[in-house]
Amino acid sequence: MHSMSWQLSAQCDLCLGDNEGPGGCSWHGVPTCRQPDCAHFIPLGQDPLQCTRTRKLNTNTRLDERKLKPWLKHFSGSHYPELLPYKQGLVSLDDRLLLARDLGVRWDQLCRILLDDVQVMHIDQDEDNLFDKCFATLNGWYESQGSKATYTALGMTLMHKDLQFEDLCKQYCLESQEVLESSV
Protein backbone atom coordinates (compact mmCIF):
# COMPACT_ATOMS: atom_id res chain seq x y z
CA MET A 1 0.00 0.00 0.00
CA HIS A 2 2.95 2.36 0.51
CA SER A 3 3.67 2.36 -3.22
CA MET A 4 0.12 3.37 -4.16
CA SER A 5 -0.63 6.94 -5.05
CA TRP A 6 -3.89 8.83 -5.43
CA GLN A 7 -5.11 12.13 -6.76
CA LEU A 8 -8.29 13.89 -5.64
CA SER A 9 -10.24 14.85 -8.77
CA ALA A 10 -13.63 16.24 -9.74
CA GLN A 11 -15.72 15.05 -12.65
CA CYS A 12 -15.81 17.66 -15.39
CA ASP A 13 -19.29 18.75 -16.41
CA LEU A 14 -18.06 21.13 -19.14
CA CYS A 15 -17.05 18.60 -21.79
CA LEU A 16 -19.80 16.06 -21.19
CA GLY A 17 -20.54 14.41 -24.52
CA ASP A 18 -17.79 16.17 -26.47
CA ASN A 19 -16.05 12.89 -27.37
CA GLU A 20 -19.24 11.05 -28.31
CA GLY A 21 -20.52 10.14 -31.72
CA PRO A 22 -24.00 10.95 -33.08
CA GLY A 23 -25.52 7.98 -31.17
CA GLY A 24 -23.97 8.97 -27.86
CA CYS A 25 -21.33 7.04 -25.97
CA SER A 26 -19.88 4.24 -28.10
CA TRP A 27 -19.46 1.95 -25.06
CA HIS A 28 -22.68 2.54 -23.16
CA GLY A 29 -24.99 3.88 -25.91
CA VAL A 30 -26.26 6.86 -23.94
CA PRO A 31 -25.86 10.56 -24.66
CA THR A 32 -23.63 12.55 -22.26
CA CYS A 33 -22.38 9.39 -20.55
CA ARG A 34 -21.44 9.78 -16.89
CA GLN A 35 -19.86 6.35 -16.41
CA PRO A 36 -16.47 6.67 -14.67
CA ASP A 37 -14.62 4.98 -17.55
CA CYS A 38 -15.99 7.58 -20.01
CA ALA A 39 -15.88 10.68 -17.83
CA HIS A 40 -13.22 13.34 -17.77
CA PHE A 41 -11.77 14.08 -14.32
CA ILE A 42 -9.84 17.21 -13.36
CA PRO A 43 -7.27 16.98 -10.54
CA LEU A 44 -8.12 19.42 -7.73
CA GLY A 45 -4.43 20.21 -7.39
CA GLN A 46 -4.42 21.65 -10.92
CA ASP A 47 -4.23 25.41 -11.05
CA PRO A 48 -6.39 26.81 -12.52
CA LEU A 49 -9.22 24.30 -12.37
CA GLN A 50 -10.18 24.12 -16.01
CA CYS A 51 -11.18 21.60 -18.65
CA THR A 52 -8.48 20.76 -21.15
CA ARG A 53 -10.90 18.86 -23.42
CA THR A 54 -13.42 21.60 -24.12
CA ARG A 55 -12.98 22.48 -27.76
CA LYS A 56 -15.96 24.75 -28.28
CA LEU A 57 -15.07 28.36 -29.02
CA ASN A 58 -16.29 31.07 -26.66
CA THR A 59 -16.94 28.53 -23.91
CA ASN A 60 -15.82 29.02 -20.33
CA THR A 61 -13.32 26.25 -19.60
CA ARG A 62 -12.96 26.97 -15.86
CA LEU A 63 -14.81 24.82 -13.34
CA ASP A 64 -17.13 26.54 -10.87
CA GLU A 65 -15.00 26.30 -7.72
CA ARG A 66 -18.01 27.04 -5.49
CA LYS A 67 -19.49 23.66 -6.49
CA LEU A 68 -16.27 21.99 -5.37
CA LYS A 69 -16.08 23.72 -1.98
CA PRO A 70 -17.25 20.65 0.03
CA TRP A 71 -14.58 18.52 -1.64
CA LEU A 72 -11.76 21.01 -1.45
CA LYS A 73 -11.95 20.99 2.35
CA HIS A 74 -10.36 17.53 2.18
CA PHE A 75 -7.66 18.88 -0.08
CA SER A 76 -4.82 21.06 1.13
CA GLY A 77 -6.17 24.52 1.88
CA SER A 78 -2.93 26.10 0.76
CA HIS A 79 -4.00 25.71 -2.90
CA TYR A 80 -7.42 27.34 -2.50
CA PRO A 81 -7.60 29.23 0.82
CA GLU A 82 -10.51 31.33 -0.45
CA LEU A 83 -12.68 28.20 -0.59
CA LEU A 84 -12.19 27.09 3.00
CA PRO A 85 -15.27 27.15 5.28
CA TYR A 86 -14.42 30.13 7.50
CA LYS A 87 -16.41 31.11 10.59
CA GLN A 88 -18.82 34.00 10.11
CA GLY A 89 -18.39 37.42 11.67
CA LEU A 90 -15.61 39.39 13.31
CA VAL A 91 -12.73 37.68 15.10
CA SER A 92 -13.69 37.42 18.78
CA LEU A 93 -11.55 38.67 21.66
CA ASP A 94 -11.29 35.08 22.97
CA ASP A 95 -9.94 33.82 19.65
CA ARG A 96 -7.46 36.71 19.47
CA LEU A 97 -6.21 35.90 22.97
CA LEU A 98 -5.89 32.17 22.22
CA LEU A 99 -4.23 32.78 18.87
CA ALA A 100 -1.77 35.19 20.52
CA ARG A 101 -0.89 32.43 23.00
CA ASP A 102 -0.29 29.88 20.23
CA LEU A 103 1.45 32.19 17.77
CA GLY A 104 4.59 32.45 19.89
CA VAL A 105 7.89 33.33 18.22
CA ARG A 106 6.21 33.44 14.82
CA TRP A 107 4.48 36.73 15.76
CA ASP A 108 6.85 38.92 13.75
CA GLN A 109 6.15 37.04 10.50
CA LEU A 110 2.42 37.63 10.91
CA CYS A 111 2.96 41.19 12.11
CA ARG A 112 4.90 42.11 8.95
CA ILE A 113 1.94 41.05 6.80
CA LEU A 114 -0.87 42.48 8.96
CA LEU A 115 0.72 45.81 9.92
CA ASP A 116 3.12 48.37 8.49
CA ASP A 117 6.82 48.59 9.41
CA VAL A 118 6.33 51.45 11.89
CA GLN A 119 3.73 49.49 13.85
CA VAL A 120 5.99 46.41 13.86
CA MET A 121 8.84 48.49 15.28
CA HIS A 122 6.60 50.04 17.98
CA ILE A 123 5.24 46.68 19.07
CA ASP A 124 8.71 45.18 19.24
CA GLN A 125 10.00 48.09 21.37
CA ASP A 126 6.91 48.69 23.55
CA GLU A 127 5.98 45.13 24.51
CA ASP A 128 8.24 43.15 26.80
CA ASN A 129 7.01 39.58 26.61
CA LEU A 130 6.13 37.38 23.66
CA PHE A 131 2.42 37.06 24.44
CA ASP A 132 2.00 40.85 24.58
CA LYS A 133 3.75 41.23 21.21
CA CYS A 134 1.43 38.62 19.67
CA PHE A 135 -1.69 40.16 21.18
CA ALA A 136 -0.66 43.71 20.22
CA THR A 137 -0.19 42.51 16.63
CA LEU A 138 -3.64 40.93 16.47
CA ASN A 139 -5.31 43.82 18.28
CA GLY A 140 -3.60 46.41 16.07
CA TRP A 141 -4.86 44.58 12.99
CA TYR A 142 -8.36 44.19 14.47
CA GLU A 143 -8.66 47.90 15.32
CA SER A 144 -7.28 49.08 11.97
CA GLN A 145 -9.61 46.83 9.95
CA GLY A 146 -12.89 47.56 11.76
CA SER A 147 -15.73 45.67 10.07
CA LYS A 148 -13.22 43.91 7.78
CA ALA A 149 -11.54 42.10 10.70
CA THR A 150 -13.32 38.85 9.88
CA TYR A 151 -12.33 35.22 10.30
CA THR A 152 -12.07 35.01 6.52
CA ALA A 153 -9.59 37.89 6.35
CA LEU A 154 -7.49 36.51 9.21
CA GLY A 155 -7.65 32.97 7.83
CA MET A 156 -6.57 34.08 4.37
CA THR A 157 -3.65 35.92 5.98
CA LEU A 158 -2.65 32.88 8.03
CA MET A 159 -2.68 30.85 4.79
CA HIS A 160 -0.51 33.48 3.01
CA LYS A 161 2.18 31.81 0.90
CA ASP A 162 4.95 33.34 3.03
CA LEU A 163 3.39 32.19 6.33
CA GLN A 164 1.43 28.99 5.76
CA PHE A 165 0.15 28.80 9.34
CA GLU A 166 -2.40 26.20 8.21
CA ASP A 167 -2.58 24.70 11.70
CA LEU A 168 -3.55 28.03 13.29
CA CYS A 169 -6.02 28.81 10.51
CA LYS A 170 -7.78 25.47 11.02
CA GLN A 171 -7.86 25.87 14.78
CA TYR A 172 -9.17 29.44 15.00
CA CYS A 173 -10.72 30.53 11.69
CA LEU A 174 -12.54 27.51 10.26
CA GLU A 175 -15.93 26.12 11.16
CA SER A 176 -15.81 23.09 13.44
CA GLN A 177 -15.36 19.64 11.88
CA GLU A 178 -18.82 18.52 13.05
CA VAL A 179 -20.37 21.26 10.91
CA LEU A 180 -18.13 20.34 7.97
CA GLU A 181 -18.97 16.64 7.99
CA SER A 182 -22.71 17.28 8.10
CA SER A 183 -22.54 19.57 5.07
CA VAL A 184 -21.22 16.94 2.64
Listed by start position, the domains of the chain span 1-64, 93-183
Interatomic CA distance for residues 121 and 137, integer angstroms: 11
Q: What CATH code is assigned to 93-183? A: 1.10.533.10
pLDDT of the chain, 184 residues: tens digit per residue:
566 666 677 777 666 555 555 566 666 667 666 676 677 777 776 666 677 666 554 456 666 666 666 555 555 455 567 767 889 999 999 999 999 999 888 888 888 889 888 998 999 899 989 999 999 999 999 999 999 999 999 998 998 877 878 889 889 998 864 433 433 3
Interatomic CA distance for residues 49 and 11, integer angstroms: 11
Give the pLDDT confidence score for residue 139 in this predicted structure: 94
Find the Cα–Cα–Cα–Cα dihedral 98, 100, 102, 108, rounded to 10°: 160
